[in-house]
Structures are given as C-alpha cells and as structure tokens.
Amino acid sequence: MNDTNLYFPLRASTSPDRLSDVVYDGIVGLIARGDLIINSRLPSETDLSDRFAVSRTVVREALGRLREDGVIVSRQGSGSYVTRKPDMAVLRFAQVGSLADVQRCFEFRAGHEAAAAVLAAEKWQDEDLQRMKDALDLLEKCLLNGTVGIEEDRLFHEAVAQATRNQYYISIQVSLASHIATGMNITRQLSLMRTPERLRSVQQEHDAIFEAIRQRDQSGAGRAMQQHILNARQRMFEGV
C-alpha cells in the first residue's frame, strides 16, 4: 500500500466542526478506491492525525461514525479494521465533504419520519391516502422503466408528512427537501446498479409503509418507516 494514497488534503478554510466530516469522507474514499481493503487494518490514530493534519480527537470522531455505519470495526488492543467496501459510485454521486452529512440526515429522518408515519396512520384523510398511492404508482413506473425516481420518492415521503395534518411535520419535511434529495440520489442511483430483486425490495418497503398507514396501524407504520430509512442508510455503503 502506497503511503501517499492515504493523504486526503484538507482545505485551509475548513472549519473545525467540519474537519471530522472531511476525515470521514477521506477514509471512505480510501476504502472505496481500494487503498484500504476489507479486513485490512487502518493506520493508527496518530498516523491518520498526521496524514490529515488534524487532531487525534477529530480522527476519533470520524472513526466513531465509521463504526456506527458499519464501515470499520475496532478490535481490542489491535486497532480498527475495514469491514465494508462502499462502491466507488458513492463518491461520484456525493459532493466532496457531504457523506457524513448525508448519514446524519438519515439518522434524523429515522426518528422524525417514523414519528410522522405513526401520526399519519391516525390522522390520514382520503386525499392523503390518494397522494401516497399516486406517488407509489409513479415509483413503480420508475422501477419498470429503470429511472432513478428521486422526485417520486420525495413525493411519497412528503405525502406521509402531509397525512399527519400537522404543519410542523410538513414544514420540516419541506425545509429538509434538498438534504433528503441528496441522500435519495445516492441510494437510488446505487440501487439502479444492483439486482432487480434489490430494487423490488426497496419498493416493497414503501408498500409496507403505505399499507400500515392505510390500515391505521400506528406502531406498524412507525416501524416500517424507521426500518426503510435505516436500510437506505446501510445501502449507501453496500458494494455493488
């Protein structure tokens, strides 16, 4: 392994609270490019600190998030090891410095949208159900046509928010639209590169959310939405 491949330059203007995100993205890039392979040991915290020109505290924060995302694992007294190899495509579909933020958005959505689904199952009216069904039909067409379907996916999730009949859920969903779309773009683009069965499983997750809401199964709707978003988060770092 060429040591120079382990250097990921930081911009001088990078703010302190963003340094760990840049280190996070840099390590993901090293793994995706094959500079660090599955089961290989990451350089020490001191080495990473020197190479990225950041403090060990910043490195630890980045490594902690990579562990949460299942990309690396720590072994007592031995260091950190690569456990998953994201596809290079994830770097093409994400802006530099954005991967950590995308994962944070998934974390927030898993709680927020699950709560919205619970309330939607209680509050929906006929027009809300129709909006969700229309969005699902559009997503099905995307699946059959092999198109990405970012807008259609967004419409479904916004329809769930609208079904809450609560302006706070609706306004938050709309205000986060651009951030949500970034994550959807990555995961849906990657899904197009995978098997038809994987594409179908994503659509089935949407169907499960809709059906639980339609049946006014509040706990089931919350679980289905949370699992869908957590699955999307994990799919971002699956190999193709």
Q: What is the average pLDDT value for the chain, to the nearest integer?
A: 89
Neighbours of 104 (CB within 10 A): 14
Please identify, among 20, 52, 85, the residue that sits at the C-terminal boundary of a domain: 85
Residues 19, 123 within the same domain: no
Residues 113, 166 within the same domain: yes
Share of the chain above pLDDT 90, in %: 67
* 75 phi and psi angles, rounded to 5 deg: -120, 130
Q: Which CATH number goes with the domain that contains 25? A: 1.10.10.10
pLDDT mean over 115-133: 98
130 pLDDT above the threshold of 70: yes
Could you give the 3-state DSSP secondary structure of residue 63? helix
Q: Which residue has the higher pLDDT, 42 or 91?
A: 42
Please identify, among 54, 85, 116, the residue that sits at the C-terminal boundary of a domain: 85
Residues 153, 113 within the same domain: yes
Structure tokens at 147: 């198109």
Residues 79, 153 within the same domain: no
End-to-end CA distance of the chain: 23
Report the C-alpha gap between 28 and 46 in whole angstroms: 18
Give the tens place of pLDDT for each residue, 214-237: 999 999 999 999 999 999 988 888
Q: What integer pLDDT is reported at residue 96 of this predicted model?
A: 54
The domain total for the chain is: 2
Could you give the 3-state DSSP secondary structure of residue 80? strand
The reported pTM is 0.81
pLDDT mean over 3-16: 46
Report the C-alpha gap between 182 and 99 in whole angstroms: 10
User: Would you place residue 7 in the very low, low, confident or very high pLDDT band (cuts 50, 70, 90)?
Assistant: very low
CB 227 within 8 A of CB 136: no
By residue range, what is the domain housing residue 205? Answer: 98-235
Give the tens place of pLDDT for each residue, 151-180: 999 999 999 999 999 999 999 999 999 999
Kindly state the greatest CA–CA separation across the chain: 61
Q: What integer pLDDT is reported at residue 14 of this predicted model?
A: 52
Q: What integer pLDDT is reported at residue 8 of this predicted model?
A: 45
Residues 106, 192 within the same domain: yes
Q: What integer pLDDT is reported at residue 17 of this predicted model?
A: 56
Q: What integer pLDDT is reported at residue 3 of this predicted model?
A: 42
**Chain position carrying tokens 């994987």:** 198
User: Would you place residue 16 in the very low, low, confident or very high pLDDT band (cuts 50, 70, 90)?
Assistant: low
Please identify, among 85, 114, 144, the residue that sits at the C-terminal boundary of a domain: 85
Residues 136, 213 within the same domain: yes
Residues 54, 104 within the same domain: no
pLDDT mean over 69-91: 90
Residues 80, 158 within the same domain: no
Residues 52, 108 within the same domain: no
122 pLDDT above the threshold of 50: yes
pLDDT mean over 40-68: 94
Is 73 a member of any domain? yes
Q: Which residue has the higher pLDDT, 105 or 93?
A: 105
Q: Which CATH number goes with the domain that contains 219? A: 1.20.120.530
Residues 116, 202 within the same domain: yes
Report the C-alpha gap between 103 and 230 in whole angstroms: 10
